[in-house]
Structure 1
Amino acid sequence: MPRVLIADKLSPAAVDIFRQRGVEADVKTGLSKDELLKIIGEYDGLAVRSATKADKDVIAAAGQLKVIGRAGIGVDNVDIPAATSKGIVVMNTPFGNSITTAEHAVAMMFALARQIPAADASTQAGKWEKNRFMGIELYAKTLGLIGAGNIGSIVADRANGLKMKVVAYDPFLSAERAVEIGVEKVELDDLLARADIITLHTPLTDKTRNILSAESLAKAKKGVLIVNCARGGLVDEAALRTLLDSGHVGGAAFDVFVEEPATANVLFGAPNFIATPHLGASTLEAQENVALQVAEQMSDYLLTGAVTNALNSPSVSAEEAPKLKPFVALAERLGAFAGQMIDVEIKAVELAYEGEVALLNTRPLTAAALAGVMRPVLAEINMVSAPAAARERGVTVTESKQDDSPVFESLVRITVTTTMGKRSFAGTVVAGTPRIVEVKGMELDAPFSPTMLYVNNQDKPGFIGAVGALLSEAQVNIATFNLGRVAAGEDAICLIGVDQEPDDGLVGRIRALPHVKEARILRF
């Protein structure tokens, strides 16, 4: 039974989901880092919110961890590169709190426009300062969205309902999607020049850090209102304070800060500044939704291999997982075959999918094949870490697909380009079992055995008997024996599944046989 550590508070209903699905769930919240390091090695899964830090030390200590689930969107508390290099899937729940976060941004926009927090404090202090709190209407104003993904599109929908004009800056927003969500796609400088209110809805990356810098803020309309319910660090806080004090920025409302908890901040006390303590996702509905979603996603992965909302691995639905399973096994073994056959630097790997397999989600298959290719050099690699490892090493990875396969219902071919040229290997699945059907352009039909002997030779009489005699003398039993050749008397290959591991001396004697070009042990 898989074991999951729930390190931050989740709904009891989420804990029940784990247990009902057959996953052992231990709830241990408020752990110190040292306490977490002592026990994390016992678990297959780690469920967190934002409090627990799954940093590189925790990941290094997690000997059997397979998945980290973040109940929420942001994964700033998870070291994704470290998890990826160790083959741990990192998943979040990007949609469970989208409405809640979008509604909070809209609420902040209203609060700024009508100066509600300051007016409330003044009135409850016994003052009646009607003339002091002269707000603005949102009707007919231009809202500028920086980021038009899931949450941004919900804010756009609400703003359209308020009869606002919505412009959006998002490099990944297509023209068709812009029309669909009712926004005008613009460049950042255009947005800054036109927007009366700017809201941010983008993750924090190297490219988005301080996207509203001192320079950008100076280009904004005088009196602009700025709302940030996305991530601390998207706005230069010191520059914003200067512009709030000068009146160039008319007001700002922040739910997130560079340093959290934000017990002190340069923005605190600024004119028309509103702050909330990272409440964007804090509604009963959202907290319940993300907890239930992360429990379902982690259970699916641990029990069936289905991958949902992963940040470092191809997604695989619960429906796809059973169909993909035999092809993932084929791709990994075919990659392992290729990896063990190559002794020089790899430049490129191409995966070709033919027939019915081409209609499936092939990204997991490519990842599995890469893991197989690179495992002889990187022993701990798996299909999660393999694509990143290939990129780091400058290995070019490509896919091609065709609906028809001349001989088989499905065929997977892997071609590896090295400094010495190319080698190609192909396989298929028969009755749910992976088989190799082509090596070096020569056809054969062989099952994969845990230990196999590969021999490349000239097709000459006596070879089979000579190999059999050597194996017999060494007390190595033959489980399977499959042959392929170009033509009579020409290049040939032999794949022998064996029950015992041949030693180096035996392999050397096989290499010394007449007409043998190459002999090596393959392990799967």
Structure 2
Amino acid sequence: MTTAMLLENIHQSATAPLQGAGISVDRRTGALAGDELRQVLAAHDLVGIRSATHLRAADIASAPQLLSIGCFCIGTSQVDLEAAAAAGIPVFNAPFSNTRSVAELVIAEAVMLLRRIPEKSALAHAGKWAKGASGAFEARGKTIAIVGYGNIGSQVGVLAEAMGMQVVYFDVLARLSLGSARACATLEEAVGQADVVTLHVPATPRTRNLVDARVLAACKPGAILINASRGTVVDIAALAAALREKRLGGAAIDVFPEEPKTNSEPFVSELQGLPNVLLTPHVGGSTEEAQENIGTEVAAKLVHFLTTGGTIGAVNFPEVDPGPLQAPARLLNVHSNAPGALAALNTLLAQDGANITGQHLQTRGATGYVVTDLDRVPSAGLMEALRAHAGFVRSRLLTR
């Protein structure tokens, strides 16, 4: 029986689709690392993680039977995607399911910070009455700069515009604007005119410390910075300095360069104790609605791959959608993207006497993936020959 391990308290909505496909599901509430993680990987065909479990090349190499990885979140930077692809393992995520949750939090934080609610709330908790309008502003009429105008960033823009804010954005890709949003040619141009700057970019070498002392210096005096994307995007020390020097009016940070692996570990940040700063424990997408949607979406992708070989939505793999299995057998072959790979596969099939009724091939980078429907179940000898072939990464057989 195919087995799956779901880590980090993945929503229960993921369980039913997997079990409905005949997959045995085990669950753990926390993240894993080291030998404990590798033991789990070695004992399961599928693994589901969120953001705290990191799958490195050595972890992936320790589990040669692992078929697929499900990231029950938006980001996939916690997985070595190249190593997974090289091992023939597609990685699936949920790029849209928590979009609304993150966007709503960003807008709420913008309003809270413009009104200086964090420090007023802290004073009230301390027994001090700080009634007054000084330094508190409406969102209406203010400019918000969205850095990264993808699924979440564009939705933030729609919500912000509905509140009467002016929307500008910067993205390294050409993006069609929604509503009256206006694109900026540079990051500095965007942040220089904004009362609120919000970040929605992935974690890549290019975005590491994207917002550093230089960019913070280019911000409008008194501006507010919100980061609900990835912790490595902001230079935290530079941000803390800008806040202490009152060059910025406030900040809301939901993600950090280093985060506790579990809720029982302590959290430390240079931003703690600063006024008009909201610190949240990576909860941008943590609503019941988002987690339920994510569980359903990623589980469906894993089931689709397991039952049909389809890889639509894989973030690291050639995307093939062969449809439901109608033929007696379907061969899934991952190979090095090199000349002659398909010819070698088809020659072996011909030698085994198997007739091809349908074939789908796609390549991505160094990886090739071909799905072949056959008029009969191939012999055990053919499967051994496929698995022994130097140019093939892995071969899996589906039968009706």
TM over 0.5: yes
The DSSP-based 3-state class of the residue aligned with 2:233 is: coil
Q: Which residue of 2 aligns with 1:336?
A: 341
Q: Which residue of 2 aligns with 1:408?
A: none
Q: Which residue of 1 aligns with 2:4?
A: 4
Q: Which residue of 2 aligns with 1:122?
A: 123
Distance 1:215 1:202 in 2: 18
Distance 1:98 1:181 in 2: 18
Q: Which residue of 2 aligns with 1:21?
A: 21
The DSSP-based 3-state class of the residue aligned with 1:5 is: strand
Distance 1:301 1:164 in 2: 43
Distance 1:269 1:167 in 2: 31
Corresponding letter in the other structure for 1:213: D
Task: Report Cα offsets for 1:40-97 as digits up to 9, x if no partner.
Answer: 2232211112233322232111111111001111223222222122111111111111
Corresponding letter in the other structure for 1:17: P
Distance 1:132 1:22 in 2: 61
How far is 1:139 from its partner? 0.8
Corresponding letter in the other structure for 2:294: V
2:288 corresponds, among 284, 291, 308, to 284
In structure 1, list runs of 5 or more residues that go unmatched: 341-356, 368-385, 391-411, 413-428, 435-447, 453-500, 502-521
Distance 1:255 1:39 in 2: 29
How far is 1:335 from its partner? 3.5
C-alpha contact 1:151 1:201 (8 A) present in aligned 2: yes
Q: Which residue of 2 aligns with 1:388?
A: 366
In structure 2, list runs of 5 or more residues that go unmatched: 261-265, 346-357, 386-390, 396-400
The DSSP-based 3-state class of the residue aligned with 1:365 is: strand
Corresponding letter in the other structure for 1:366: Q
Matches within 5 A, 1:58-77: 58-77=59-78
How far is 1:327 from its partner? 11
Distance 2:316 2:107 in 1: 31
C-alpha contact 1:141 1:164 (8 A) present in aligned 2: yes
C-alpha contact 2:221 2:249 (8 A) present in aligned 1: yes
Distance 1:105 1:164 in 2: 13
C-alpha contact 2:118 2:275 (8 A) present in aligned 1: no
How far is 1:108 from its partner? 1.1
C-alpha contact 1:157 1:182 (8 A) present in aligned 2: no
The DSSP-based 3-state class of the residue aligned with 1:53 is: coil
C-alpha contact 1:305 1:321 (8 A) present in aligned 2: no
How far is 1:134 from its partner? 3.3
Corresponding letter in the other structure for 2:23: V
Cα distance change on mapping 1:118 and 1:159 into 2, 3 Å:
same
Matches within 5 A, 1:37-436: 37-131=38-132, 134-174=135-175, 177-178=176-177, 180-187=178-185, 188-261=187-260, 263-317=267-321, 319=323, 335-336=340-341, 338=343, 365-367=361-363, 387-388=365-366
The DSSP-based 3-state class of the residue aligned with 1:256 is: coil
The DSSP-based 3-state class of the residue aligned with 2:231 is: coil
The DSSP-based 3-state class of the residue aligned with 1:47 is: strand
Count the aligned residue pairs.
360
Distance 1:34 1:129 in 2: 53
Q: Which residue of 1 aligns with 2:350?
A: none
Corresponding letter in the other structure for 2:18: F
Q: 1 or 2 for the larger relative contact order (CA 8 Å, sep ≥6)?
A: 2
C-alpha contact 2:194 2:220 (8 A) present in aligned 1: yes
Cα distance change on mapping 1:141 and 1:18 into 2, 3 Å:
same
The DSSP-based 3-state class of the residue aligned with 1:143 is: strand
The DSSP-based 3-state class of the residue aligned with 2:226 is: strand
Cα distance change on mapping 1:194 and 1:299 into 2, 3 Å:
same
How far is 1:10 from its partner? 2.3
Q: Which residue of 1 aligns with 2:351?
A: none
* Two-structure CA RMSD over aligned residues (Å): 3.4
Q: Which residue of 1 aligns with 2:398?
A: none
Structure 2 length-normalised TM: 0.80
How far is 1:254 from its partner? 0.6
Structure with the higher strand share, 1 or 2: 1
How far is 1:209 from its partner? 1.2
How far is 1:274 from its partner? 1.5
How far is 1:132 from its partner? 7.0
Task: Report Cα offsets for 1:258-293 as digits up to 9, x if no partner.
Answer: 111372212222232221111101111111111121
Distance 1:100 1:247 in 2: 30
Cα distance change on mapping 1:224 and 1:449 into 2, 3 Å:
same
Distance 2:46 2:190 in 1: 43
How far is 1:144 from its partner? 0.3
Cα distance change on mapping 1:190 and 1:320 into 2, 3 Å:
farther
Distance 2:244 2:33 in 1: 41
Q: Which structure has the larger Rg?
A: 1
Distance 1:318 1:126 in 2: 65
C-alpha contact 2:143 2:193 (8 A) present in aligned 1: yes
Cα distance change on mapping 1:322 and 1:234 into 2, 3 Å:
farther
Distance 1:68 1:295 in 2: 10
Structure 1 length-normalised TM: 0.62
Corresponding letter in the other structure for 2:107: V
C-alpha contact 1:167 1:183 (8 A) present in aligned 2: yes
How far is 1:321 from its partner? 7.8
How far is 1:163 from its partner? 1.2
Distance 2:304 2:332 in 1: 17
Instruction: Quote the sequence identity (%).
Output: 36
Task: Report Cα offsets for 1:124-178 as digits up to 9, x if no partner.
Answer: 333221137531111111110000100001100101101111011012133xx11
Corresponding letter in the other structure for 2:6: I
C-alpha contact 1:83 1:90 (8 A) present in aligned 2: yes
Q: Which residue of 2 aligns with 1:420?
A: none
The DSSP-based 3-state class of the residue aligned with 2:20 is: helix
